A and B are shown apart, each in its own frame.
Chain A
Amino acid sequence: MSKYLYYPGCSMEGSGKAYHDSLMPVCEKIGLELQEIDDWNCCGATEYLGINKLPAYALIGRNLALAEAQANGAKDIVAPCSACYLNLTKTDSYMAKKDGVDELINDALAAGGLSYEPGQLSIFHLLDVIVHEVGLDTVKKNVVRPLTGLRVAPYVGCMAPRYDYAKRWSDSEHPLELDLLIEALGAEVVDYPLKTHCCGGHMPQISPDTAYELIHRLVDYAEEVKTDIMVAICPMCQMNIDAYQNETNQHLGTNHKMPIVFFTQLMGLAFGIDEKTLGFGTELISAKDALAEIGSEKTVVKKKRPRKDKNALPMPQPLISKAPTREKEISR
């Protein structure tokens, strides 16, 4: 049983409810114990930092201070939302530089009777914990209903692997963690080079045309590579692609119908938990047809590789099938 302090973030109580609902039974299966940080507050998303920098850090600092006080041995925080994860790690790493920012943040925290010593906690994204700490072997052991035949696009989004202040991810642009997890569930991972491109973030609220274009690119490519379902690791990504897809269609005259669910929902499905418990059906673009593909025999005609040209330059090797280990220095 691994124990973690849990920072859910606001979306888990609202738009990302399916993420929360699927995470809880999955945790039970893989032996992950989450202890919620008492009375945590919003991380400020990408909004607060653009208004006032120091208050934004203080806002995040309160969560770190509360977590540190509650830690009691467990020194690891896990956040399921990529934006929350980024903000927590960013504040922790900026404070750890000890260049004066830490003192200012602690001065502000003292007004509420709190303090935080940077570096006291390790902050993880949920996917990172499941792949690297719990381990894929534990995941595989729990699979009772392999998702054979389901073609999944691993959509990581931007804020988990970038900026990667704690240097945890296998790559900042093409990380493999999600691919490996999906593979462990028995599903087929489609080659999806847009995996860490932006979902639009807050653009649906600020510049809708920008958002429509970004959502269109992601979904259009997924369709081109015959994806049955996209899988997200962040509530904001899921929300943008799911909820704004129809509006995108209306504006661009497209006809996209690409379902997107959370990776924990697919894990639960492979673990034999029923769909309703996992929050299936709460997505606006229904995943029903995609789930019907599970167990189907696909007749995907593999393209013949062109004969190798002896004079050609050496090409990058195909994807490795094993996650790079922590010990190995991963260069950007």
Chain B
Amino acid sequence: MPHLSPKTEENTKLIEYVASRTGRDSRLETCIQCGTCGGSCPSAMDMEHTPRDVFALLRAGERETVLSSNTPWICVSCYFCAVRCPQEIKIPDVMYTLKSMAITKGAYQDSAASDFSQTFVDMVENYGRSYELGLATRHYLRHFPLRLPSMAPMGMGLLSKKRLNLKPKKIQGIKQLNDILDRAKELEAA
């Protein structure tokens, strides 16, 4: 018997909450459980729940199961589901909402996925642009040290072909950018 979330009001209104956080026209509640999303998904084979499952779980108020699922993290944002969904649900946007909810709750266990997003965001907030070399080294050392030997030739290849910058590029308006982002974070928390 799987662990079921308690039937609190917060949980029974879970699908409405996720829909409203995603945006007014997410259309999440209109899911007819046809399964086109999972059938179109290139990475469904590695998901603990297909998107259709996730929407059913949301409707059932199974907060813990959804937020600890790897599904939103394995989503590659390819939008196949979005263009095929007969109900025109903004599925990738729903996945983004679930990711940010899982981060806030600290619910998702495999930290490689959420850490990568966070590391990327840190780089952008520090420099204003992505810094591939810094991002890759920090991420792979922390999460995939065993992959380093098989990746070394690739890293060296990219470096020798000048496809990785050794130093990050910082934009001039970095303060302006952070003022904007700080204000946006305030507004989102409100």
Contacts and interface: CB of A to CB of B under 8 A. Distances in A.
Contacts of B78: 158-159, 162, 197-198, 201
Interface in B121-149: 121, 124, 128-130, 132-133, 136, 139-140, 144, 147
B99 A50 contact: yes
Given A47-B116, A48-B120, A54-B185, A198 B129 contact: no
A173 B185 contact: no
Interface residues of A, number: 75
B150 A203 contact: no
Contact of A53 (B100, B130, B132): B100
A50 B171 contact: no
Interface centre among B21, B76, B117, B157 (most CB of A within 10 A): B76
Interface in B54-83: 70, 72-74, 76-80, 82-83
Interface residues of B, number: 70
B179 A209 contact: no
- What secondary structure prevails in chain B residues at the interface with A? helix
Interface stretch (B8-16, B30-38, B40-48): B40-48
Nearest to A285: B157
Nearest to A281: B161
Contacts of A49: 96
B154 A243 contact: yes
B42 A41 contact: no
Q: Closest 5 A-B residue pairs measured CB to CB? A: A111-B183, A162-B79, A50-B99, A108-B184, A158-B78
Interface of A: 10-11, 13-18, 39-42, 44-55, 57-59, 61-62, 94, 97, 99-101, 104-105, 107-114, 158-159, 162-164, 172-173, 197-198, 200-203, 205-210, 213-214, 217, 243-244, 246-247, 250, 281-282, 284, 332
Given A39-B171, A210-B46, A284-B157, 12 more contacts: A11-B130, A40-B171, A47-B116, A47-B117, A59-B181, A107-B187, A108-B180, A163-B92, A203-B74, A206-B112, A209-B46, A244-B154
22 contacts: A13-B169, A14-B163, A15-B132, A40-B171, A42-B124, A44-B121, A50-B99, A51-B103, A53-B96, A54-B187, A59-B177, A62-B176, A62-B180, A99-B25, A111-B183, A159-B78, A163-B92, A198-B80, A210-B43, A281-B161, A282-B161, A282-B163
